[in-house]
Amino acid sequence: MTDNQGLFPLLLGSEWQLLSTPVQRMHGHAERLVAKGVADVGGSPHWIVRLLRRQLGLPMPGPQQAVEVTIERRGTHERWTRQFASRRMRSTLRPATRAPFLSEQLGITTLRFALIRDHDAIDWQWRGARLFGLPVPRFFFGKVMARCASENGRYTFEIDTRLPLLGQLVAYRGWLEIIDES
């Protein structure tokens, strides 16, 4: 990866140029980016799911939560800090060992995604998970759906993670506007 090529342009290749401007700006080249917006957050009320959300630093359910995202890019790594109301969630994104996948590490969990352009949006298609570095069978992990796009000139996102037998771990959807990038 060259110094002027971001993680997402690298993984999407020629498809990158076909994405909407808000998606390109959010996932582009700026070394540091701050965006603010609003998200609706959902999740199962089951006590085990609530405990998992707390342990992983995931946001708690609630409508119309203020959200701030800071992205710091260093070489092939991106550090994402998402502040939902009073909850901070951090993850690190990088190219997966098996290219062309994206790897996102969130605490003890690492998720692997194929990034697929769908018109002017990106679908993050879940390909696998690791817990403490060990592969987790898909059945035990459940389902992960993620998509980023744009609407009315704003970056939009939708994430939904479900666990077998326990239901929705966390889901959030909303919009962001970039307030600072350098």
Tell me the pLDDT tens digit for each residue of 4-26.
Answer: 578 999 999 999 999 999 999 99
* Amino acid symbol at 159: I
Q: Do residues 77 and 40 make contact, with C-beta atoms less than 8 angstroms apart?
A: no
Q: Tell me the pTM.
A: 0.92
- Domain extent listing, the chain: 7-181
Mean pLDDT of 16-37: 96
Paired strand residues for 92:
79, 105
Mean pLDDT of 131-154: 92
The CATH code of domain 7-181 reads: 2.40.128
Q: Do residues 179 and 160 make contact, with C-beta atoms less than 8 angstroms apart?
A: no
Chain centre to alpha carbon of residue 117: 15
Name the pLDDT band for 92 (thresholds 50, 70, 90): very high
Supply the pLDDT for residue 2: 43
Exposure b/e, 124-143, CB count within 10 A at least 16 = b: bbbbbbbeeeeebeeeebbe
Name the pLDDT band for 1 (thresholds 50, 70, 90): very low
Which helix or strand (DSSP H or E) is residue 175 part of? strand 167-181
Paired strand residues for 77:
74
Q: Is 53 exposed, middle or buried (0-12, 13-18, 19+ CB in 10 A)?
A: buried
Supply the pLDDT for residue 3: 43
pLDDT cut 90: percent of the chain above it = 83
